[in-house]
Amino acid sequence: MNHSRQLRKEWLRARRNVDLATHRVRGLARGQHFRLLLLAAVVGIVAGLGAAGVKELIHGMQWLLWGAHGRGDILEAIGWVARWKILILPAVGGLFVGPLVWFAARDASGHGVPEVVEALLMRGGIIRGRVAVVKAMAASFTLGSGGSAGREGPMIQIGASLGSVVAQITRLGEEDVRTLVAAGAAGGLAAAFNAPIAGSLFALEVVLGDFAIASFSPVVMAGVTATVVTRALSGGAPTFQIPPYTLTSPLEFIPYVFLGILAGFVALSFTLFMYGQEKAWERTSLPPWVRPAAGGLIVGAIGLFFPQILGVGHVAMDRMLEGHFPMGLLLALVVAKIVATSLTLGSGGSGGVFVPSLFVGSALGGAVGMAVQRWAPFPHGSPGAYALVGMGAVVAATAHAPLTGIVIMLEMTRDYQIILPVMLACILSSVVASSLKGESIYTQKLKFKGIAMRQGREETILRQMSVRSVLHTEYRSFTEDAPLGTILGEALGVSQTTFPVVEPDGSLAGVIRVQDLHRSLADRGPLEAVLVAADLMSPTEVLNKDDNVEQALDLLTDTGADLLPVVGDDGRLLGVVYASDVLERYSHELQKLRLASSLAQRRSFSIETEGVELGHGMRLAEVDAPAALRGRTLREIQLRSRFGVEVLYVLKGPYHIRKMADPDLAIEAHDRMVVMAEASALRAFLETMDAHVQQASAHAGG
């Protein structure tokens, strides 16, 4: 009897323990962070599969265009194909890429990372699912045909796109969406190089710009699972054939210092030339969908002399690491690769810049290694070791990410002996590049769009707005000689609390604040006849007419004022800016941006002319810019005050390049405007513009 009672107690205790454990597991599963980790693992798996798919697509395209010898790398097929193919095939790939990207998903052009960062900053991480498909196809055409770029950029963008899709399907909040986008980017790079730590650091350091623990864990989880998938599918072999390395003499740190500094300058040149090419291609008269073919033709011409630059270039880098190329060729390849990659991506091709940075670094480091081998009076390592260090240094400098450069070289070599010269060169190159230019190769494109990488969309909006957009020219001010009685009589009866004081020529002398006037009331009797505005005023911070609203908000916050004067270059008072107007305008512009971004995702900037009902009597429409408005800026047109019509963005030129509605944006022929207004206001606006056209036609006919 006692025995059975004891057994029952043990059974009840075990059951309670099981119930408690089950309850805790269920609570853990319901926890948001645990759920995010699980989703990050899923994102890592799909990113790894996506990366494997991209590799196979590129190999398949290389086999189709270059033959069996080119399946692994185009350089292996060069001796087996006719020379005309070297010239023509990159252009053939561009003929497919241009229309595909332009008409299916324009975000799929370029090297991918800036587009991912822009989505994080400006759209809360929302990326269309079609971007992954179009990017994979565009990259396979670009790289498989011989375009000079890397495959890691497409893998990062595809991984980020898949992460965004998973987050949207599971209805996560904005911060969690951003985290899964970064996790997808980490998975893409980790899968590209079999390097989970470097992939995670790149996503945190470059893409997300945040090492918070809430982001860190899911990003690392995705990097690990993506690498597991890659190793399961293709094995754990390193990306490059790394030569054995030993630090022969402490004096070798001297050329490594030189290499790090030189890498910083080369990386800066790469960034400047690539975006210079992008701007140059935008100014050409060629249609955007034709430009990749034209760029490919020039790349093919370069490939006739330097076939090593064609395609991804892994075989060429292996040979550099083995020391097979002479110094002169290595130096020529530094320039040729920068030019070819800039042409490929600047003209609209699809690929990455990470591998080209490795290529340029290996050629630069190899050339320095050759020079050391030839002239150094101290014991030294092989040129391949310098090529290896150069790879990390240029990557670190182009990305302004020394941690990523150091760790990826450590993961690719799996040899701790190389770490000291790599750390030295990566730090020096990053310092040189970031000191000379604040933007990296990944953030420069955002800078051109007015987007600050280290700030969110809110700060970017404020920075894009001029103080002239919130300037008041109707306000109460006083001259320096205005008597106290006049000031009290006029100032205490209005809502304005700060009053500018101006000199006879209109220059700002100072301000009078209401609290100063209150103190003067006690002495009003005896002092009223002698006190003037100049006696009551105090100095103030001022805004220049060319300042932006971010600067205005900073000054208003620092001073605690509700009003700031705005002066011209000559010091004359132009008007005032109210704190309430700054906040109201900012809120309004943020709502516009959110609406425009939402519509861009849903409708790909294609809105029927008759408009879309937004509710509350508001409609959204895409209309041809009326001829009566051409040649004038949005500030001059004043559609909001004249017609109650809000311009969200403008589709510029015959190819409808999207431009956000900046006040200084001029309306030109072929432009279309996406506007928001009440139905009656929109109708009145269009009718008024039609009337202007008819009057102009009648006048011309007369």
What is the CATH number for 567?
3.10.580.10
Is the domain of 428 the same as that of 483? Answer: no
Structurally, how many domains does the chain consist of?
5
Is the domain of 147 the same as that of 213? Answer: yes
Residue finishing a domain among 441, 458, 475? 458
Q: CATH number, domain at 685?
A: 3.30.70.1450
Give the pLDDT band of residue 601 (cuts 50, 70, 90): very low
Q: Does residue 111 fall inside a structural domain?
A: yes
Q: How far apart are CA 395 and CA 381, in angstroms?
A: 22
Is the domain of 293 the same as that of 442? Answer: yes
Beta bridge partners of 672: 624, 651
Q: How far apart are CA 401 and CA 492, in angstroms?
A: 58
Q: CATH number, domain at 56?
A: 1.10.3080.10
pLDDT value of residue 603? 42
State the chain's maximal CA–CA distance in angstroms.
119
| Residue 113 host element (H or E) | helix 113-122
Is the domain of 475 the same as that of 347? Answer: no
Q: Does residue 239 fall inside a structural domain?
A: no
Q: Does residue 244 fall inside a structural domain?
A: no
Whole-number percent of the chain with pLDDT over 70: 80
Residue finishing a domain among 432, 458, 484? 458
Q: What is the pLDDT of residues 438-476, one digit of tens each?
A: 888 888 887 776 665 544 445 556 666 777 777 877 888
pTM: 0.69
Q: Which residue has the tokens 């076939």?
A: 307
Q: How far apart are CA 509 and CA 540, in angstroms?
A: 9
Is the domain of 179 the same as that of 50? Answer: yes
Q: Does residue 371 fall inside a structural domain?
A: yes
**Cα distances (Å, whole numbers) of residue 47 to 183, 489, 669:** 9, 72, 43
Q: What is the pLDDT of residues 555-592, one digit of tens each?
A: 877 777 778 888 888 878 888 888 777 777 776 666 66
Strand order across the beta sheet in which 563-567 lies: 543-544, 563-567, 573-578
Q: Does residue 591 fall inside a structural domain?
A: no
Report the chain's C-alpha Rg in angstroms.
31
Q: Pick the residue with more confidence: 494 or 60?
A: 60
Q: Does residue 319 fall inside a structural domain?
A: yes
Is the domain of 396 the same as that of 507? Answer: no
Q: Which of 270, 359, 365, 369 is nearest to 315 (CA)?
A: 359
Q: Does residue 587 fall inside a structural domain?
A: no
User: 549 near 533, Cβ under 8 Å?
Assistant: no
Is the domain of 132 the same as that of 185? Answer: yes
* Contacts with 652 (C-beta within 8 Å, 6 or more apart), sequence order: 658, 659, 668, 670, 671
Is the domain of 509 the same as that of 622? Answer: no
Is the domain of 333 the same as that of 185? Answer: no
Range of the domain at 665: 605-701
Q: How far apart are CA 472 and CA 635, in angstroms?
A: 15
pLDDT value of residue 616? 58
Q: How far apart are CA 223 and CA 44, in angstroms?
A: 6
Residue finishing a domain among 234, 263, 279? 234
Q: What is the pLDDT of residues 604-645, one digit of tens each?
A: 334 444 556 655 567 777 788 877 788 888 878 888 778 888
Q: Does residue 283 fall inside a structural domain?
A: yes
Q: Dihedrals φ, ψ of 481, to 5°?
A: -95, 10
Q: Which of 235, 233, 237, 179 is nearest to 41 (CA)?
A: 179
Is the domain of 373 the same as that of 520? Answer: no
Is the domain of 520 the same as that of 572? Answer: yes
Give the pLDDT band of residue 28 (cuts 50, 70, 90): very low
Is the domain of 570 the same as that of 436? Answer: no
